[in-house]
Amino acid sequence: MFKSAKIKLTATYLVIVMSITLSFSVFVYTGVNEATKKALGRQRIRIERQFYEREGPRIIFEPYNEETLNEIRIKTIYDLIGLNILILVISGSLGYVFASKTLAPIEKMIEKQKRFISDAAHELKTPLTSMKVDLEVNLRDKNLKLKYAKKILQRTIHEIDAMNDLTNYLLQKSKYQNISEKDNKKIQLKAIIEEAISKLKTKTEEKNIKITKYIGNELVYGNKNRLKEVFINIIDNAIKYSENNKNISIRTSVKNNEVKIKIVDHGKGISKEDIERIFDPFYRSDKARTNSKIEGYGLGLSIAKEIIEEHQGTIVVKSKLNRGSTFIVSLPKTN
C-alpha cells in the first residue's frame, strides 16, 4: 500500500520538477538562440566596417552564419537534454526519499491503529470464546443442577462486566484523543490527587496499603477530570502490583518551572524489556498476564500518557524487579 503511495508521490514530485525544468530549458534555448543571432549579427557589422574602410570591391554579407547558428543550437539542445536527464535522476532519488519521510508518520500511525484494533478484537474475543465454550459444554449436560447453572450464569455475568469495562476504556481512550481546551483551567494538584486516592480507598483497604503524601499547593493548567484520571490510573497500577501491607508514597516538587509528581511503590517492579512498552495500548507484562489475580487490559497507562502529553507534560517510569517502581509526571507550573 505505502510502496505504491511512495511511487505515486515521487511521480508527482517528478512531474512538478520536470515541468519547471522543461519550461526553463525552453526559455534557455530561446534565449541562447536569440543571443547567438544578435552576436553573429554584430560580428557581421564589425567585419563589414573593416571592408568598407578599405578600397576594393564591395562584398555582400549574410545577416549571420546559418551553419554556426545551427551548431550552437544543436550543442545547446544536447546540453539541455543532458542537464534534464541529470535533474530527472537526482530529483527522482530525492523525491523518493522525501516521499518516504512524508509518509513515514502516516504509515506509523496506521500500523499503530491496526495493532490497536487487532489487540482490542483479541481482548473482546477471549471472554466471548470462554463464555461460548462454558455454555455449550454445560448445555450438553443432561444432569445439570440449578445450583451449578447459577454459577455458570455468574461467570458469564462476570465476563460481560469485563467486556463492558473494556468498551468503557476504549471509549475513554477515544475521548482523550480528541481533548478540548475549553474546559481547561487552573487546578490545584493536591485536590485532584486527594480525589484520586479517595476513589481508590476500597482497593487500598482490601490490601492494607498505606499511601503517604507530601503534596504542595502547586497549580497547573488543564482539565481537572482528565488529570484526575491520570492519577487514578497510576495509583491503581501501583496498588495492583503491590503486595499486601506495602506503602505507596506520593511527593510533589517544583524544578525549572515544572511540577513533578513522583508516585513510588514497593511492588513487583518492571523489567527493562517491559519498561520500553509499558505505555503501549493493551500491553501487559508476561507476569501480569499469567497472574489471574491481576485484572486489567493494559490501557490505563496508555491513557495516562496521552492525557499528560496533551497537557504539554511528560511521564516516565523507573523500576527494578521485585523492588518497586517510580512514576514521574511532569506538568508546566502555573502561577
pLDDT score for 296: 59
pLDDT at 56 over 60: no
The answer on 163 and 38 residing in a single domain is no
The answer on 227 and 167 residing in a single domain is no
The larger pLDDT score, comparing residue 63 to residue 27, is at 27
pLDDT score for 290: 43
Q: How many residues are recorded in the chain? A: 335
pLDDT at 292 over 50: no
The answer on 118 and 38 residing in a single domain is no
90-99 long-range contacts (CB < 8 A, ≥24 apart) are: 91/13, 91/14, 91/17, 91/18, 92/10, 92/14, 95/9, 95/10, 95/13, 95/14, 95/17, 96/6, 96/7, 96/10, 98/13, 99/5, 99/6, 99/7, 99/9, 99/10, 99/13
What is the average per-residue pLDDT within 51-67?
A: 58
The pLDDT > 90 percentage for the chain reads 12
What is the average per-residue pLDDT within 295-305?
A: 75
Query: Which range marks the domain in which residue 28 is found?
Result: 1-109
pLDDT score for 289: 42
pLDDT at 251 over 50: yes
Write down the mean pLDDT value for the chain: 80
First to last CA, the chain: 50
Element (H, E) at 210: strand 210-214
Q: How many domains does the chain have?
A: 3
- Cβ contacts of 258 within 8 Å, gap of 6 or more: 330, 331, 332, 333
The answer on 81 and 51 residing in a single domain is yes
Highest-pLDDT range among 86-95, 158-167, 325-334:
325-334
The answer on 262 and 133 residing in a single domain is no
The answer on 124 and 96 residing in a single domain is no
CATH number at residue 171: 1.10.287.130
pTM strictly above 0.75: no
pLDDT score for 304: 86
